[in-house]
Structure 1
Amino acid sequence: MYDVLIRGGTVIDGTGSPGLRQDVAIKDGKIAALANNVRDTATTTIDAGGQIVAPGFIDTHSHSDLMLLANPALEEKVRQGVTTEILGQDGLGLAPVYSDTAKAMLQEHLAGLLGSPAVVWNWSSFASYLKCYQHRGTILNVAALVSHGALRIAAMGMEDRPATKVELAEMKRLLDEALATGAPGLSTGLIYPPCNYATHEELVELARVVASHGGAFVVHVRNEADTLLESLQEMVDLARASGVHLHISHLKTIGKKNWGKVDAALTLLETAQQEGLVVTADQYPYLAGSTALAACLPPWAPAGGPQAMLARLRSPEERARIKAAFRETIPNWQNRGETEGWENVIVASLGSGNPAVIGKSIAQLAAERGADPVDVIMDIILAEENRATMVCFQNCEENLVKVMQKPWVMVCTDGILGAGKPHPRLYGTFPRVLGRYVREQGALTLEEAIRKMTALPAASFGLTDRGVLKEGLAADVVVFEPAVVLDRATYAEPQAWPEGISHVLVNGELVLAEGMPTGALPGRVLAGKRSMIQQGGEPDASSGSRS
């Protein structure tokens, strides 16, 4: 007798192969049988007639780190069919933190983007941090990258300078220790302090440690706008020097004047693949991005941490210096007033929840206040003590689809949890791809879209027992209606659940049944093994099914 039997659906197994009419039997958290008309009975039977049965989706770029500890039953991802999240992105992870000073600095640093939920920071090492998820239980599986930001803070705080040899050695030691626990790689966010203070040489040294463990170097590049090509070239050079698997976070072109660079960007990365370098990327299916409002400021403004930044914003002299920076050319800095335009930068969430500000553009607020847009930004950051996020409209549909269609590009949410009007990608990413880009536009086949959400990320991050429906592998499964599935979240009303996802199982347990959460917390902390992506960036379709 099986635990769960999913009958009558079309199984799309994640490898890119055409779907087959099969039953899926599950026992003890594993796929026990895949066959026509499985004859045995089960404790729970799901009628999947007219629906697709696929591996659970893997969100390759998630910011649920703190919120999952505060609320292990978070629904936002499983309602999309997500069964695994990869945390620790953009260099904004939670460990290691071996001193009270580093812990306080990291907490304050992350609050501007990830918030300050009621979480007891009772960990120090990376391993003890991961155990917190396991002890609390989670609604879905998590894997966590080592965070460059946490390493730098542990070694040298938030200082805006190159690391000394001693400090770099300490970062490498901590990184090696964390990777040995099963972290699938390292992340860095080269627009965020303190990661953006790192030299290329520091990044290469860290990448060599990652390569020695067979992990991925996951990077938000220094600039996705005016110097996009130079920023990508820096990372290709890093991959060549270190031999690391390079993964570009949320690949895109920012700003109308830069949209024409997409072909050159893709050619640059594919040339590296042809050279034998391992290069992959991910993408969210929206034209707007989202991050902390403080990311609008010049790179030196946050040096020393949030309190030092807020002190600068209180100083008339420093405010004048910051405003002057917007009239200058600063290497690798994305001046959002020029690249996006202040009419396209929208306040998404605030610590205070102020409805008079949330949902309005910086240009609109500047007009209402009769103030300079940069003054408006600084005033909001000050008033909210840096607890402010934004949504920025920056990409174009043609480029989004062009990137999406590359076989080495995965799907991610990059979603930031928060009150107000958070980016709708937090609620709609995966159904949006399936509904808008597969069913409505035909930009991808259903099989290819599912591969990008399952087998490809599993192989890329060494999740050897996930990503493919095959006997003996973990029973992370999503059941959805292909004719119905669609996102409903919008920029105006982002907190809306998608349609068409009927059932989600994590490790063989239902976390979503008939579209409603069950309350189960069967998620596990996953250890990434060596990346199974072949040279040239193409996944080995069979590798995702190895155990």
Structure 2
Amino acid sequence: MEKNRLLRLIVFTLVFCQAASGQQHVEYDLVLAGGRVMDPETRLDAIRNVGIIGNRIAQVSSEPLKGKEIVDVSGLVVAPGFIDLHIHGRDNLEQQYQLHDGVTTALELEWGIENLKAWYASRESRALINYGASVCWPYERFKSLSKYREEVDAINRASLRGESSITLMTNTILPAAGEPITGEEMRQTLANIRASLEEGGIGIGVPIGYLPESNPSELFRVYQLAGELQAPIFTHTRYPNILAIQEALANAVLTGAPLHLVHINSMALGNIQVSLDMVAAAQQKGLDITTEVYPYTAASTGLQSAMFDAGWQERLGIGYGDLQWVATGERLTQQTFDTYRKEGGIVIIHMMKPEWIRTGIAAPGVMIASDGMPYAKLAHPRTAGTFARVLGKYVREENVIDLMGALEKMTLLPAIRLEGIAPMMRFKGRIQAGADADITIFNPGTIRDKATFEGGLAFSEGVEYVLVNGTFVLKNGREVSGTYPGQPVYGRYKQ
């Protein structure tokens, strides 16, 4: 961490000296004046002025600063922009909801994205906020099976149209998941993963829960590759139970692969505390293993997925009436379950207890991530309100965690998680000289989520300003039109 701070200081010095050359007094491009600046890394929590030059923070000072533009943010919290490690919506429609929720960097790491080079190119100069993705292991596996070339082409076309191809991939990949693959196909899968890492992939997305029939030996080989390259694995475990969590932990321990367990709340269910204890025990032994939660008692996924294969009621401890069809908002019956499962589509799964969520949010070192879904009017509210919900409900109303602790889970911890694979993340998640000017400014007394399971998506309330790379994308609670400052976040193997 000290090395990263030194690097940021060097960058700041270069930027500052260039700006100050020939000037006795620095005039910043933008000054955020009089806000409550909160930096989770240094634990700064004080009234300060923030000077920005270009896309970087150049000064954090208790003294007045001169600026070409000065914005009075007194009474508001000035925080690092929120970093979401787990999203599925890939376009600006979803990013609109994310920026109103304070997110400045949104990454698809659980599933990953297919055809990465083309996808990154398709987002260039079009993104409201920063974007990036991991390598999609299910896609790279599927691509290694030569008989599915037409299906792979269809997936690529959907991706380049800006669509989330998860549904398409689920419909095509799942039937092939139980097929044994040859040694040559396994070697090709690993070669595909390496090639996608060279296209910028931020680690490897391993949603084994959607391919639970895949041979454990295949999974182990992927972990071995991750250990060799020190590329983190982001995994939805094979099943929502302790044994599946232990499988992921064991593979990471044996191979040295960095591991991030996604949404441990919906994977552990009632065993949330022991699961968090296992992660903490691994960390105490020096293992690079982390996890995340989202602040809702319901999950969401495709009804056609393996999650709902025979025995799902017993595995999840729920029935048909606990499933909510996103297209209409209706609760399912056995008849509608059978009909919609053949049709394919997204459901919301009401399966967790409030105390499980509070346990996850309160746990030290556990990050906040949304698992935000592709846009639909009645999509899971986490798509729009995850971060405001934590700050409004769990910080202000229920005192489950304090404000600095919550901000750390949304900013610094995600940045640190990614620094090894994506070096540019060392400049994010902080309000310090030399850091990227990705900044979220909100009213701690009014911030709250407004999206609901019944009413659908809505912008969060209380986020007043969002800057991405030094540019306002949200100002006085309103989007700045025609502004696309979002930049790609690449993995370190990019060629």
Matched, 1:460 2:417: yes
Asked if 2 retains the 8 angstrom alpha-carbon contact of 1:60 and 1:410, the reply is no
Matched, 1:147 2:140: no
Deviation at 1:397, TM superposition (A): 1.3
Structure 1: how far apart are the matches of 2:182 and 2:257?
23
Deviation at 1:162, TM superposition (A): 3.0
- Pairing of 1:41-440 with structure 2 (within 5 A): 41-42=67-68, 44-65=69-90, 67-68=91-92, 74-89=95-110, 91=111, 93-96=112-115, 126-134=116-124, 136-156=125-145, 157=148, 158=173, 159=176, 160-192=178-210, 195-224=211-240, 228-253=241-266, 259=270, 261-295=271-305, 299=309, 325-326=310-311, 334-335=312-313, 339-349=317-327, 358-362=328-332, 366=333, 373=334, 375-382=335-342, 385-386=343-344, 388-440=345-397
Deviation at 1:298, TM superposition (A): 5.2
Other structure's SS at 1:415 match: coil
Matched, 1:505 2:432: no
Question: CA separation of 1:45/1:206 partners in 2, compared to 1, >3 Å: closer, same or farther?
Answer: same
Asked if 1 retains the 8 angstrom alpha-carbon contact of 2:36 and 2:75, the reply is yes
Question: Which residue does 2:4 correspond to in 1?
Answer: none
Residue identity in the other structure for 2:296: Y
Question: Which residue does 1:472 correspond to in 2?
Answer: 434
Structure 2: how far apart are the matches of 1:338 and 1:524?
39
Residue identity in the other structure for 1:406: A
Question: Which residue does 1:23 correspond to in 2?
Answer: 49
Question: CA separation of 1:337/1:377 partners in 2, compared to 1, >3 Å: closer, same or farther?
Answer: farther
Asked if 1 retains the 8 angstrom alpha-carbon contact of 2:316 and 2:351, the reply is no
Structure 1: how far apart are the matches of 2:55 and 2:400?
34
Question: CA separation of 1:292/1:212 partners in 2, compared to 1, >3 Å: closer, same or farther?
Answer: same
Q: Deviations over 1:371-396 (max 9, x none)?
A: xx0x42231244xx42x211111111
Instruction: Show structure 1 runs of 5+ residues with no match.
Output: 97-125, 300-324, 327-333, 350-357, 367-372, 531-547
Q: How many residues align?
A: 432
Deviation at 1:82, TM superposition (A): 0.1
Instruction: Show structure 2 runs of 5+ residues with no match.
Output: 1-26, 149-172, 420-424
Structure 2: how far apart are the matches of 1:453 and 1:402?
17
Structure 2: how far apart are the matches of 1:270 and 1:396?
22
Asked if 2 retains the 8 angstrom alpha-carbon contact of 1:4 and 1:25, the reply is yes
Other structure's SS at 1:19 match: strand
Question: CA separation of 1:461/1:132 partners in 2, compared to 1, >3 Å: closer, same or farther?
Answer: same
Please identify, of 162-171 and 138-147, the stretch whose mean Cα deviation from structure 2 is larger.
162-171
Deviation at 1:506, TM superposition (A): 0.3
Structure 2: how far apart are the matches of 1:443 and 1:229?
25
Q: Deviations over 1:411-434 (max 9, x none)?
A: 111111333411111111100000
Question: Which residue does 2:166 correspond to in 1?
Answer: none
Asked if 2 retains the 8 angstrom alpha-carbon contact of 1:30 and 1:473, the reply is yes
Find 2:65's aligned residue among 28, 34, 39.
39
Asked if 2 retains the 8 angstrom alpha-carbon contact of 1:80 and 1:429, the reply is yes
Deviation at 1:174, TM superposition (A): 1.5
Indicate the structure with greater helix content: 2
Asked if 1 retains the 8 angstrom alpha-carbon contact of 2:266 and 2:299, the reply is no
Question: Which residue does 1:310 correspond to in 2?
Answer: none
Asked if 2 retains the 8 angstrom alpha-carbon contact of 1:16 and 1:447, the reply is no
Q: Deviations over 1:315-336 (max 9, x none)?
A: xxxxxxxxxx44xxxxxxx447
Question: CA separation of 1:4/1:280 partners in 2, compared to 1, >3 Å: closer, same or farther?
Answer: same
Q: What percent of counterpart residues are identical?
A: 27
Deviation at 1:444, TM superposition (A): 1.0
Structure 2: how far apart are the matches of 1:246 and 1:401?
23
Structure 1: how far apart are the matches of 2:443 and 2:316?
43
Question: CA separation of 1:138/1:472 partners in 2, compared to 1, >3 Å: closer, same or farther?
Answer: same
Find 1:522's aligned residue among 447, 463, 485.
485
Structure 2: how far apart are the matches of 1:278 and 1:155?
30
Question: Which residue does 1:109 correspond to in 2?
Answer: none
Q: Deviations over 1:294-341 (max 9, x none)?
A: 136655xxxxxxxxxxxxxxxxxxxxxxxxx44xxxxxxx44786222
**Runs of 4+ deviating beyond 4 Å:** 296-299
Structure 1: how far apart are the matches of 2:223 and 2:142?
18
Q: Deviations over 1:176-195 (max 9, x none)?
A: 12223442211121221xx3
Structure 2: how far apart are the matches of 1:55 and 1:64?
22
Other structure's SS at 1:86 match: strand
